[in-house]
Amino acid sequence: MTTTSSTPAAVSGAISHPARCAVLGNPVSHSRSPAIHQQFALQTKIALLYERIAPAVDQFEPTVTAFFNAGGRGLNVTVPFKLEAWQLARANLSVRAQLAQAVNTLWLEGGALHGCNTDGIGLVTDLQRLALPLKDARILMIGAGGAARGVLGPLLEAGCAQLHIVNRTPARAHALVNQWPDLHAVQTKRLSAGSLSEAASKQGWDLVLNASASSLSEAAPEVPSGLYAAGGCAYDLMYAARPTTFMVQAQADQAQHTHDGLGMLVEQAAESFYLWHGVRPETTPVLRLIRAELDASREALH
């Protein structure tokens, strides 16, 4: 396996014809990625065509192949394809993707498919923007799929004191924790795993992350109440026009603050944009704009 660097694959600057990029997932009709990347393109004066692609769940690989054969520049990958993307790009992975064993960013370089995972850097950057301290924090993470894999390493690197992973299928959470020592040189005593019913802690959690797909189906995770320490906060890696079901659940459970994952989406998109185009865009004005669009769509429903 070749290690892919986190340096851009493409040359920056204006181009004579649009670079074709897309977000690939199922479902994907809700995605704000096209709007985010178009704003980045306007900032950087890069001609860009960015679309949504929703392949059948058994058509991921042929869809990716067809996209790049047709001259595509880059793909963002979301639920439920991040593990498949890792398998597909396994010969050329960034260090982030090697650790995560999940990929959310694909591109061609030298005729070969390359993969990176920008989820973790996106989450940590947004948590820092929100002034949520990670060093010495006690963190509960709900979910053990591709999203959880993508953020696990950066959370540990940020210095959290404990990271407890719970999942509807406990074996998946335990498997993620048990394999991590082989992937990353950290003090693994900070990692633990269990079932959803084992989410509570006597001390409470400083930060509870929902890395499951529960909010896509508008269902709250089946976790016990009393999760939050004094001043504890909730963060859903998903986002919506109104507070997600997880955020509503957290408010009822006395979380001091609740946040959705729109900021994470914008930050991870900026990292993908940099990998594809060689330019790092400004995220603050784009986050403000996309949030305003979401707020407007919510008001339109009333």
User: What's the CA angle centered on 131, arms 127 and 132, to 5 degrees?
Assistant: 60
Residue 48 in contact with residue 38, Cβ under 8 Å?
yes
Which tens digits make up the pLDDT trace of 30-79?
899 999 999 999 999 999 999 999 999 999 999 999 999 999 999 999 98
* Predicted local confidence at residue 47, as pLDDT: 98
What one-character-per-residue DSSP string does 182-211 give? Answer: GT--S-GGGEEEEEGGG---SS-EEEEEE-
Regions of the chain with pLDDT less than 70: 2, 5-16, 181-188, 299-302
* Predicted local confidence at residue 218, as pLDDT: 84
- Please confirm, yes or no, whether 45 is among the known catalytic residues: no
Please give the span between the terminal C-alpha atoms of the chain, in angstroms, as a whole number. Answer: 53
Q: Tell the residue number behind the tokens 């993707």, with chain if given.
A: 97
pTM of the model: 0.89
- Where does the chain have alpha helices with state H? 33-44, 60-69, 82-88, 95-100, 119-129, 146-157, 170-179, 245-252, 262-277, 284-300
Task: Name the catalytic one among 82, 135, 189, 202.
Answer: 82
* Distance in angstroms (rounded) separating the CA atoms of residues 224 and 171: 19
The full set of domains in the chain, from first to last, is: 15-117+264-300 (3.40.50.10860), 132-260 (3.40.50.720)
Which tens digits make up the pLDDT trace of 235-259?
999 998 899 999 999 999 999 999 9
Residue 205 in contact with residue 140, Cβ under 8 Å?
yes
Q: What are phi and psi of 227, to 5 degrees?
A: -80, -25
